[in-house]
Homo-oligomer: A and B are copies of this chain.
Amino acid sequence: MTDAPRPPFEHPANALVLEIFRANGALIRLGDALVKPLGLTSARWQVLGAVAQGHGGLPVARIADNMGLTRQSVQRIVDELAEAELVGFAPNPAHKRAKLVVMTPRGQRLFQRASERWAPYADAIAAALDPRRLRSTTDNLATLRGFLDQTNDRSSE
């Protein structure tokens, strides 16, 4: 049994990476199904959430940084959300072109409804992973992401 070809799949880090990919996919699928009846998608819901967090309004580039995405990806979603009148643009006193993205009342109502739909699932996740595991998993992923971001930044220099 020493002849089994053993590519570095045995490495513990690889198992983690594969689980992250699978969890990411499963979360997006769940999110899409969850907000589809509201006319939303996972991506739009996420951007809406990021806008909701920036109470005073944030430029697109800031939202992208918060989400770990590029400006272009977020810009496209924001434009679509603006088209649907779920978000609007407020003048930015600190930058003429970089207008602030703010929620419209309609956007707030829709986001509220999405949040209500999500709540039971969030609770179920918290039930499947007790508070200690939930927190340690989050912390460990944050540690991993810190390393990855650092590595990515370094290679782009």
Contacts and interface: CB of A to CB of B under 8 A. Distances in A.
Contacts of A92: none
Given A12-B135, A129-B143, A26 B149 contact: yes
A27 interface: yes
A141 B23 contact: yes
Interface string A5-42: 10111011111110111111111011001000000000
A46 B14 CA distance: 11
A136 B136 contact: yes
Interface of A: 5, 7-9, 11-17, 19-27, 29-30, 33, 46, 49, 52-53, 55, 67-69, 111-112, 115, 118-119, 121-126, 128-129, 131, 133-138, 140-145, 147-149, 151-152, 155-156
Given A16-B125, A16-B141, A27-B148, A21 B46 contact: yes
A13 B133 contact: no
A140 B133 contact: yes
